[in-house]
Structure 1
Amino acid sequence: MSDLRRVIAAALTSVAGAVFVIAAMVGPAAAGPTERGALNAPLAAAGVSSVAAGYAHTCAIRTDATLWCWGSNWSGELGDGTGVDRTTPVRVGTAATWSGIDAGASHTCAVRTDHTLWCWGRNFRGQLGDGTTTNRTAPVQIGTATTWASVSAGDSHTCAVRTDGTLWCWGFNRLGQLGLGSSVYTVSTPQQVGTATTWASVTAGFAHTCATRADGTLWCWGDSSSGQLGLGSVAYSTAPAQVGTATTWSGATAGYAFTCAVRTDHTLWCWGENGYGQLGAGVTYQTTPMQVGTVNTWSRVNAGDDTACAARTDGSLWCWGNNMAGQLGDGTTTNRYAPTRVGTATTWTTGLAVNYHTCVIRTDAGLWCWGNNANAQLGDGTTTQRSAPAQVTLP
């Protein structure tokens, strides 16, 4: 566990009021409590197109393409030019051209509609990609390329896909998480991963990375101490290695030491560490992909530190794993070893972000957040933790 994880875990334990004990294996729970604010949701909803959750901060892009962030700002991860924590959303600059965003531990990266890439926040390992190790309190453009399609920010490394199908990574590489085929310690500018031009998506975890290609194959690299690469072993890899032979992977998400992915047949699969139930089943750990239940209606999944949430094609939302701070949204702080439904809404069909807190966009009612709030990452003007969804009011 990194020093940052220890600090966060200690803070969460304090917030929860007692040291937690891993729950016994449970099956899917009944629908959780009614979400706060549900009665006036249509009136208060602000249009939000995407959301990202860091360890202690949150950022969201509105449908007008403006960018807003809140929560911890110790390293400048909110991008508002200060180091001041924000208990409610604050606008990042004046640009209204933001199209996609992701948040790492204490840094944030986003793509604009002109396909430029911008990063800010903590940069100790070169994870911002600007050629330095200097923290940035406001967005800094990464290079001059205008071909960035999407970006994923991990704990201390970042990866992104370009419109030409190439894949690029930078930042910390102690365990090969950059996929460069070497054990170089840090890289402070984007480096191309191999020569393939068919990369479709990428996800950066704590110290491992996974990516899908246009042919539906899945590739992972970096740390595999808990089997999180899905290669059938615990040996790390410094270059992309194909996960099995399936050609039906539609998207993957990397947590701290586990990975989950959805296939085109809408089945859900997870592998790696399972100390909190983050694989959605009662096993110790798994070195190859394991199907989560038998349901074939999963549409997307997102993994946080030791927690995962996924939406189904019927618009329902389900979460499992670490629930120390109520990040599963089921009204409890009990860890869950199987997907547990969040409330009764069937409009969880767009953005989904998970860490020690969770934020999800509802098509009928804007942005909702819950879980840890020690650094005001829920954006409700308080630092009070909550275990059920509540609506976030954006200016």
Structure 2
Amino acid sequence: MNAGHHDGLWRLALLALLKPCLFLAIASGALYGLPALSEGPRVHPVDIAVGWGQSCILGDNGHVWCWGNKLLNGQAEDTATPTRVQGVADIRKIAAGRLGTCAIDASRKVICWGMQIYRKEFSAEPYLIEGLPPAQQVAIGFQHFCALTTGREVYCWGANAAGEIGDGTVEDRLQPVKVEGVSDVIALDAGVNNTCAIEAGGTIKCWGTDDPGNPEQGFAISSFTPKVVQGPGQLLTIRNARNYVCGIRVDGILFCWGSPYALPVTDGKLYTVPEAPRAFAVILSGEKRVIDVGLGAFSGCAVFENGQMHCWDYNDEPKPAPDFEGVERISMDSQTRGCALLRGGLVRCWDIDISDNEEISIPD
């Protein structure tokens, strides 16, 4: 047996010994500059929230990462990339709005950063909202905040010039107050100067308005206390924007009402609702069920059960969004910005033009 043959056998034996290690190295990404498995599991995004100057991601480890305006992102300075918010942990849900960001932790407490209503000043340091029963959802409008409790009651606080608190007055509330006239609530959302809730029996109730100076414009509801909206049946989800509202019915059909200038064109015509809330516009009622919806000032996007996302803008017909497949949920800021959470923990965000989007990653 010659030396060359011996070298060949040694190479085969060495390859046999190293093959499992080589496979592990490739699987861990070590050969491609990716984090190795020994560095710990990758954090996967499980929720997203987009406000007027900040965006946030909730990881499956209970931590929150935000970027954007320093007054809203929980940081001491503006950040262009996701940065972990210190002082919050074991978080289950997040919400973002014009004046701040809020989170619900495992003990059902509500923690916020941004505008500190009690002191009427901005704070990058997270603070606890006192006087709230255990919460399951938070909604943030233009200058007001609302929480849905585990007892299915609604509490609101903040600015109240348009009656968005729902307590029958126009006085600002520095502390959370219980909203009378709604009960057994299953879903809640806050618009610019309005709030809507869905009760378990299917009743939709809204309060506030769009513009305190023009109460009959846009939102088409002007009430300082919860007012019944004649709806299309049981809704599961509701989303408020600046001047219109959309809800997903149990059969996956999306219904919207409010300003005709914000609703999309379908079937070659615009579904205007000048007499809202006594009538609804029916949109996106095709073969696929809608599972989530996000609303901008004059735009919106609907997510279908097959992971596709269709968006509309300024009375345009809804069209498939490029680069968005396997979408699970969406968040928009009532203006021009939005983020979508895709299967596998991928997050894509955009500003104004959804075709000009970028992938957002949580730093290791």
Shorter-chain TM-score above 0.5? yes
Aligned 1:131-210 pairs, distance under 5 A: 131-143=118-130, 145=132, 147-184=134-171, 186-194=172-180, 196-210=182-196
**TM-score, normalised on structure 2?**
0.79
- Alpha-carbon contact 1:276-1:337 (below 8 Å) kept: no
Shift of 1:212: 0.8
Shift of 1:293: 4.2
Shift of 1:350: 3.2
Task: Indicate the residue corresponding to 1:316 in structure 2.
Answer: 308
Shift of 1:318: 1.2
CA distance in 1, matches of 2:343, 2:253: 23
Which deviates the most, 216-225 or 282-291?
282-291
For structure 2, the residue ranges without an aligned partner over 5 or more in a row are 1-31, 36-41
Cα deviations by residue, 1:210-229 (Å, 9 ceiling, x for unpaired): 11112222111111546655
Relative to structure 1, the CA distance from residue 157 to residue 367 in structure 2 (aligned partners, 3 Å threshold; closer, same or farther) is same
Residue 306 of structure 1 aligns with an amino acid whose one-letter code is: F
- Alpha-carbon contact 2:45-2:346 (below 8 Å) kept: yes
Alignment partner of 1:88 is 2:74: no
Cα deviations by residue, 1:126-180 (Å, 9 ceiling, x for unpaired): 3xxxx33122211100016461111001111111101011100111111111111
For structure 1, the residue ranges without an aligned partner over 5 or more in a row are 1-39, 322-334, 373-384
CA distance in 2, matches of 1:274, 1:195: 28
- Alpha-carbon contact 1:49-1:350 (below 8 Å) kept: no
Task: Indicate the residue corresponding to 2:338 in structure 1.
Answer: 358
Shift of 1:276: 4.7
Taking only the aligned residue pairs, the percentage that are identical comes to 24
**TM-score, normalised on structure 1?**
0.73
Relative to structure 1, the CA distance from residue 351 to residue 344 in structure 2 (aligned partners, 3 Å threshold; closer, same or farther) is closer
RMSD over aligned Cα, in angstroms? 2.6
Shift of 1:388: 3.1
Task: Indicate the residue corresponding to 1:257 in structure 2.
Answer: 243
- Alpha-carbon contact 1:167-1:193 (below 8 Å) kept: yes
Aligned 1:222-371 pairs, distance under 5 A: 222-223=208-209, 225=215, 234=220, 236-244=222-230, 246-277=232-263, 282-283=270-271, 286=274, 287=276, 288-295=279-286, 297-321=289-313, 335=314, 337-343=316-322, 345-354=324-333, 355-371=335-351
Shift of 1:294: 3.3
CA distance in 1, matches of 2:234, 2:272: 26
CA distance in 2, matches of 1:307, 1:389: 16
Which structure features the higher share of helix residues? Answer: 2
Cα deviations by residue, 1:290-324 (Å, 9 ceiling, x for unpaired): 10143252112121333211101111111112xxx
Relative to structure 1, the CA distance from residue 315 to residue 135 in structure 2 (aligned partners, 3 Å threshold; closer, same or farther) is same
Relative to structure 1, the CA distance from residue 235 to residue 298 in structure 2 (aligned partners, 3 Å threshold; closer, same or farther) is closer
Shift of 1:285: 5.2
- Alpha-carbon contact 2:102-2:110 (below 8 Å) kept: yes
- Alpha-carbon contact 2:46-2:345 (below 8 Å) kept: no
Task: Indicate the residue corresponding to 1:381 in structure 2.
Answer: none
Cα deviations by residue, 1:176-202 (Å, 9 ceiling, x for unpaired): 111112232x11110000164401121
Relative to structure 1, the CA distance from residue 306 to residue 226 in structure 2 (aligned partners, 3 Å threshold; closer, same or farther) is farther
CA distance in 2, matches of 1:145, 1:235: 27
Task: Indicate the residue corresponding to 2:22 in structure 1.
Answer: none
CA distance in 2, matches of 1:371, 1:264: 31
Relative to structure 1, the CA distance from residue 279 to residue 52 in structure 2 (aligned partners, 3 Å threshold; closer, same or farther) is farther
Cα deviations by residue, 1:13-48 (Å, 9 ceiling, x for unpaired): xxxxxxxxxxxxxxxxxxxxxxxxxxx9x99x8511
Shift of 1:352: 3.3
SS at match of 1:387: coil
Task: Indicate the residue corresponding to 1:63 in structure 2.
Answer: 60
- Alpha-carbon contact 1:106-1:122 (below 8 Å) kept: yes
Task: Indicate the residue corresponding to 2:112 in structure 1.
Answer: 119
- Alpha-carbon contact 2:131-2:175 (below 8 Å) kept: no
Relative to structure 1, the CA distance from residue 196 to residue 259 in structure 2 (aligned partners, 3 Å threshold; closer, same or farther) is closer
- Alpha-carbon contact 2:264-2:318 (below 8 Å) kept: no
CA distance in 2, matches of 1:276, 1:247: 23
Relative to structure 1, the CA distance from residue 279 to residue 89 in structure 2 (aligned partners, 3 Å threshold; closer, same or farther) is farther
Relative to structure 1, the CA distance from residue 145 to residue 187 in structure 2 (aligned partners, 3 Å threshold; closer, same or farther) is closer
CA distance in 1, matches of 2:345, 2:322: 14
Q: Please identify the structure whose Cα radius of gyration is greater.
A: 2
Task: Indicate the residue corresponding to 1:103 in structure 2.
Answer: 96
